[in-house]
Amino acid sequence: MNHWLMKSEPDVFSIDQLAKDKTTWWEGVRNYQARNYMMNDMKVGDLVLFYHSNAEPSGVAGIAKVSKVAEPDKLQFDKKSEYFDEKATKDKPRWFCVEVQFVSKFKHIVSLQDLRENPKLADMMVLAKGSRLSVQPVEKKHFDIVSKLGG
DNA sequence: GCCAACGTTGGC
DNA sequence: GCCAACGTTGGC
């Protein structure tokens, strides 16, 4: 089983919204590297750190898990969506997304500062300079430390 | 709202 | 296939 970190702006979609909805298709990713992780590597049951970006504070807000493997992102075909992609066709979809399911919300958000201050987490991808990838792998040892911090 | 870092696009 | 210009991300 693999572990992941997925970023979402809470103003757009928060851990509370996921708790309410139970599951969601992770639509709107328009970065090939992030897509490839979802399309090729994410399996049902994989655990996900749900990360709030552009937030007060930014950080890991809870845990989700992959509930369905990748399927074509419907928004790429929706002309009214900001995620519409005129180069995508139903025969040859360009963008894929997995479905994730709510697992738990942390008692306390594990802020970016918390992550930075923990030497054991120093080589997490999310802490790398200029790291913008919205779907990224996480080592199990890091996942375990972060979930312990979250309570 | 600024801007550094990074990704994508498109002319050549 | 290079790379300048442009767009986006996301912390601050």
Instruction: Give chain B positions with protein CB within 7 A.
Output: 5-8
- Distance from residue A112's CA to nucleotide C1's C1', rounded to whole Å: 39
Domain ranges in chain A are 3-150
Instruction: Give chain C positions with protein CB within 7 A.
Output: 8-12
Look at residue A91 in the predicted model and tell me its pLDDT.
87
Residues A127-133, mean pLDDT to the nearest whole number: 91
Look at residue A13 in the predicted model and tell me its pLDDT.
96
Work out the number of other CB atoms within 10 angstroms of the CB of residue A54.
11
Query: % helix / strand / coil in chain A, to the nearest 5?
Result: 30, 30, 40
Query: Which nucleotide in the DNA or RNA is closest to residue A133, CA to C1'?
Result: C9
Of all residues in chain A, the percent with pLDDT exceeding 90 is 89
- Distance from residue A88's CA to nucleotide B12's C1', rounded to whole Å: 27
Per-residue flag: A130 CB under 7 A of strand B: yes
H/E stretch holding A117 reads: helix A112-117
Of all residues in chain A, the percent with pLDDT exceeding 70 is 100
Decide which of 3.40.50.300, 3.40.50.12780, 3.10.590.10, 3.30.2290.10 is the CATH code for A3-150. 3.10.590.10
Look at residue A130 in the predicted model and tell me its pLDDT.
87
Residues A100-120, mean pLDDT to the nearest whole number: 96
Q: What is the pLDDT of residues A39-93, one digit of tens each?
A: 999 999 999 999 999 999 999 999 999 999 999 999 999 988 889 998 888 888 9
Cα torsion A60, A62, A63, A68: sign: negative
Look at residue A86 in the predicted model and tell me its pLDDT.
86
Look at residue A87 in the predicted model and tell me its pLDDT.
86
- Distance from residue A7's CA to nucleotide B4's C1', rounded to whole Å: 20
Contacts of strand C, CB cut-off 7 Å? A 7, 9, 30-31, 53-55, 58, 112-113, 132-134
From the C1' of C8, which residue's alpha carbon is nearest?
A: A132
Look at residue A54 in the predicted model and tell me its pLDDT.
94
